[in-house]
Copies of this chain bind each other. A is one copy, B any other.
Amino acid sequence: MSNELDDRLRASGKRMTVQRRLVMDALQRARHHVTAEDIATRIRARHPQIDPSTVYRNLGALEELGYVTHTHFDDRVTRWHRADAQRHGHLVCRTCGAEQELPIGLLEPLARRLRDDHGFRADLAHSAIVGICKTCSNVSSD
């Protein structure tokens, strides 16, 4: 009963453990970006013996394999999601905290410019872009 994830894990010298499977399952079920803390809490509700540090380490391992990705928002927690979800950027308002997704295409011209001018292959989806959203902009200019 091995599947593709099992095989790719083994192919890279990694192993499939119950803990790893639980982290993967939790990410499958989570529709949106979740924190490692969220995942740990969810898993520990049923399997309290699983240590949070194991969850962190597994997120890292699954990321190495390209199964999951993380994004930094403006607060200091990292959020995780499956890598097969559509890539997109993030806007987050520093005043009200509102978050907004952004088609990745909008960031493409800058990425191209950085690649052409600096030889730098940028991952513009990795960190949210912070600023002031339209609503907060209007309020403060009254």
Total residues of chain A contacting the partner, CB 8 A: 33
Cβ-defined partner of A119 (8 Å) among B122, B126, B137: B137
Q: Please, how many angstroms separate the alpha-carbon atoms of A129 and B119 in the complex?
A: 13
Q: Is the interface of A mostly helix, strand, loop or mixed?
A: mixed
By a beta-carbon cutoff of 8 Å, the part of chain A in contact with chain B is 72, 74, 76, 78, 91, 93-94, 100, 102, 106-107, 109-110, 113-114, 117-124, 126-134, 137
Can you list 12 A-B contacts with CB-CB less than 8 angstroms, sorted by A residue number? A72-B72, A74-B126, A76-B76, A91-B120, A102-B118, A107-B110, A114-B131, A119-B134, A120-B133, A122-B131, A124-B129, A126-B130
Known pairs A72-B72, A110-B107, A129-B127; A120 contacts B134 (CB<8 A): yes
